[in-house]
Amino acid sequence: MTSKQTIQLNSQVTMHFKLTLEDGTLVDRTEKNEPLVFSMEDDTFIEGLKYALLDLKAGDKETMKIPPETGFGFRDPEAIHHIPLADFPDDIEPKPGRIIGFHTPDGEEIPGAVLSIEGDQIKVDFNHPCAGHEVTFQVEILSVENPAE
């Protein structure tokens, strides 16, 4: 086979990436000697980032801007909740800016950012930190493996 395999929806991909906000704030990245290895079929990336990788091949280096509508979505005011201070365990001090893991009724853990303390209520934002932002997704594709057809 003379041509390189391109990333498809069922590919196994090895790559380096860097994800930043509009102002350059680093959201996530791989370490120099530790590339990310994942299957396009798993939930490693949200769909907007995943689809941006389609048709890339080993050796490709790309910088892509992903808008909120295909990235992390828009901020939802209904994702901000007031939680009684009494509901917090004694060993967790809710401070503005702190990210705390909360358990949903079905046992899933979701992160929430403490916005403020208002009397005996804690204002917590459950929006994804990247919601409402255009993100920059820089990738270097190291290898692509596709299952045999």
Domain ranges of the chain: 12-72+130-145, 77-125
- CATH 2.60.40.10 correct for 12-72+130-145: no
Q: Say yes or no to pLDDT of 38 above 70.
A: yes
Predicted pLDDT of residue 123: 96
Number of helices (H) and strands (E) in the chain: give both, helices first. 1, 9
Q: Is the predicted pLDDT of residue 10 greater than 80, yes or no?
A: yes
Give the pLDDT confidence of 73-84 residue by residue, as tens digits.
Answer: 999 999 999 999
Percent of the chain with pLDDT over 90: 70
pLDDT score of 3: 58
pLDDT score at 101: 87
Does the pLDDT at position 8 exceed 70?
yes
CB 141 within 8 A of CB 58: yes
Query: pLDDT tens for residues 103-122?
Result: 888 988 888 999 999 999 99
Q: Across the chain, what does the average pLDDT equal? A: 91
Question: What pLDDT is stored for residue 149 in this prediction?
Answer: 54
Q: Which residues contact 69 (CB under 8 A, 6 or more apart)?
A: none
Sheet arrangement for strand 99-103? 80-84, 121-125, 109-118, 99-103
Cβ distance 27 to 18 under 8 Å?
no
User: Taking a C-beta distance cutoff of 8 angstroms, is the pair 71, 19 a contact?
Assistant: no
Q: Model-level pTM greater than 0.85?
A: no
Topology adopted by domain 77-125: Thrombin, subunit H (2.40.10)
Do 12-72+130-145 and 77-125 share a fold? no
